[in-house]
Amino acid sequence: MPDASPRTRSFGRNFARMGPRMDARGAAEHRRRLVEAAHGSVVEIGAGYGATFPFYPAAVTGVLALEPDPTLRDLALAAAARAPVPITVQDGVAESLPAADASIDVVVCSLVLCSVAEQPAALAEAVRALRPGGLLLFYEHVRSEHRVLGAAEDLLTPLWSRLAGGCHPNRDTAAAIAGADLTVLSLERFGFSALPGNPRVAHILGVAAKARA
Ligand SMILES: C[S@@+](CC[C@H](N)C(=O)[O-])C[C@H]1O[C@@H](n2cnc3c(N)ncnc32)[C@H](O)[C@@H]1O
């Protein structure tokens, strides 16, 4: 499993400071809607400081929350203790889920498919671990569909990725989900300015399902 480098560790500390401000500006409401359909056994990849934990509905029997960054993982452990459903937090990456084939009801991705090192591998792992009919719930920022803004994100990505824990502002995550043996059941696209002064960046929020056997 890749160890967190000093650069990604410093991103973790920064994200722990900035994240609650994003939540107050609307990300918390996006997270609440993200997990509305969650139920049964859930794996949340890259859970950060556990900002989504308060919103898991009672239909969830348990969450395995994976977080590779030690600072964020410690915060997630504290958040898990206050969560409305049982949540286990552990080290781990999306590209290698500690779950048997076809064993999970729901995989949750929140602002993480931009950052995983290998997005196709992460999606393939989610599909492997989901039971037939299982759901992938996603809330992600994505490459703009506007030609000029998308090109600007392409230019920005190499530098931003180094500064922001491997985040890629130019990933077409909706296309990747649709191409990953998943059927997209709902997909909302909207602009969201995460922090004061930041541009409105394209986000997607939706549900995809693994085919029933
Ligand atoms: C922008 S933060 C989002 C955190 C959280 N999901 C949220 O919505 O607040 C990106 C997260 O992805 C995690 N991450 C980076 N690479 C990862 C990987 N390969 N597998 C799982 N998580 C990863 C980071 O440690 C960080 O917690």
Q: Which domains does the chain have, with CATH numbers?
A: 6-210 (3.40.50.150)
* pTM assigned to the model: 0.95
At 173-184, the pLDDT tens digits run 999 999 999 999
126 lines ligand 1 (CB under 6 A): no
At 39-98, the pLDDT tens digits run 999 999 999 999 999 999 999 999 999 999 999 999 999 999 999 999 999 999 999 999
Residue 69: burial class (beta carbons within 10 Å; 0-12, 13-18, 19+): buried
pLDDT-derived band at 5, boundaries 50, 70, 90: low
Would you state the pLDDT for residue 213?
76
153 lines ligand 1 (CB under 6 A): no
Would you state the pLDDT for residue 10?
83
119 lines ligand 1 (CB under 6 A): no
Rg of the chain's alpha carbons, rounded to an integer?
A: 16
> From ligand 1's centre to the CA of 110, what distance in Å?
8
pLDDT at 4 over 60: no
Query: Any residues with CB less than 8 A from the CB of 147 and at least 6 apart, and which?
Result: none
